[in-house]
Structure 1
Amino acid sequence: MNIGDKVRLLRAKGEGIVSRFLPGNMIEIEIEDGFRIPVMRSELVAVSPMEAEKLLRPSTFEPQKPTAPAAPSILANQGIYLAFVAVNDREYSLYLVNNTDWDFPYSLGEESAAPTGGVQFRGVFAGMLKARAQQKMNDLYTHATFETWPTFVVQGLWFRAGKSTLRAPLVKRVKARATTFFKNKTTVPVLNQPGFVTQLDAEGTEPTQPSAPSSNRPRPNTIRPDELKAEMLKPKNDPDTLSVDRPSSVVDLHTEALLPKGTGNRGPADLLKLQLETFEKALENAVASGMSEITFIHGVGSGALRTELHKRLGQHPHVRFFEDAQKQKFGYGATKVSLK
């Protein structure tokens, strides 16, 4: 131990520098603030040069800065799919896939033509599909019977524990069409297998909440959980309850049928636009609900409406053919459309 060495006290907290040697085996050390004290040599231990260097080196630690709170995670609000996965070269399995961050209570059913006419509904499956999950429905669909596959009806709610935005229920009908079905082969989300996929919640945006004062808003109906579960599991024997968008088999496009209270200030161009919009909506709903044919009454008139309808029907991918309908009843004022 030499003058200038750094030493540490054994029986007390403290360190110092050897300043001089005293009689009686005593050593004088200089501690903080320049004070010098005598200490028995046996009460000191030398600090190694490496340790001393670290002790003498100014601290490089900085006070820890408060971190900003993490940004709220972004929720995946869309991603409900129907997927058909090939079991072999003849059969398909049907899956319902939830690739969102919401739990999805659902029911799945099938609409098909009833033997006595009209449409019949058959419940297939109901349950709760957790976030980022999938559920196999059945293996009943074969390639050979593709043209007779039913219209699939999916009804669902959105649930997240705690505070969240109220979302409108999902009701979607899907009719497999050869012209589009086999073009949608991709990797099925969550399931991670190749399959033919249709997204059920792709279009539209969530409805906004009313901005009126709460005192002016209608009070929501109270829904009991047991009643909601019973309603979802109850067989749906009345096809009309699920076919609200299914058009009539005969759609009258006359302006007096579309505007029973009068045309108002609408000009010929506005009336033609209304007739064509009604025609397009009825045709798409007929395709989506699995109808095999639909008739449009357009009248004779100048022939402009009939010409435009025939032009659009000739370009529509889901139209098998069209022809003048029941000449003895409508003359040349109606067109019957056969759908694929």
Structure 2
Amino acid sequence: MNIGDKVRLLRAKEQGVVSRFLPGNMIEIEIEDGFRIPVMRSELVLVSPMEADRLLKTSIYEPQKTVAPSAPTILSNQGIYLAFIPVNDREYTLHLINNTDWEFPYTIGEESAASGGGVQFRGLQSGVLKPKAQQKMNDFYAHAKFEEWPTFVVQGLWFRSGKASLRAPLLKRFKARAATFFKNKTTVPVLNQPGFQTQLDVDAATPTESSTAPSSNRTTGTHSRPTTIRPDDLKAEMLKSKSESAGVSIERPSSVVDLHTEALLPNGTGKRTPADLLTLQLDTFDKSLENAIASGMHDITFIHGVGSGALRTELHKRLGKHPNVKFFEDAQKQKFGYGATKVTIK
């Protein structure tokens, strides 16, 4: 130990520099305050040059700052739409709208009846829709061929960078029905243009996470209110003249619709499977019922036969859930037995 060495006390916090040696194995050190104190040699320990250099330097680190927690981010979790925008009075363009705060990887296509039976799928487009974005499809859809429009199929996933709850994939099919489609004219979000739209994720589960709050109206800060539909107003709208209902031509069905495959396919069933035939019968039923409602018919009768009862059971299941059906019953038992159902429309 030499004069000028950096030392530290073993049983105290002080440290200093050796200034001189005293009798009796004592050493005088100059501490940081400038005072000199005598200390027993055995109570001192040398500080290594590297440690001494570090101790002499002022800390380069600033004190940590207390950061107030940020407010939770309010996410828009629902808002995937199919929108049809009128190009003129004859054609529409199809758009996929993402009005959420999530990225939406998607595929969209069309399902239609195949010439040889069954259902065929035609892909339209795929990609990733950014939040608050839209994608226009290349095809045009003619107003005059509304009844021939295909079933649109949209598949999608949900993605957000960082921590987020896992959401179930979206798979939706949409078939435009005259009775309801032309009631949905509104200003389409993101595009801010008038058009006809349907929401695809209205039943999608909202993810649970600490940074997510229920979807709300971002402009006013209030929750959106569901639209109230009055049956009388809906029926009155359906009974409007063609000029009042955007020029839509509704084919009024016969008061008795025969769903037997022989009546639907007079040239034979071809290679259609039983499942294909059932799908054809149900599609004919849906179309006839919707057109009957839209054209203001009071009732309509469907001949489904007895058979295994599968078709009758499915028809009654759908009729029981339909909002515009007043009641239904077995019809013309003397003629059809239990092979026909009469539907009374509200």
TM-score (norm: length of structure 1): 0.47
TM-score (norm: length of structure 2): 0.46
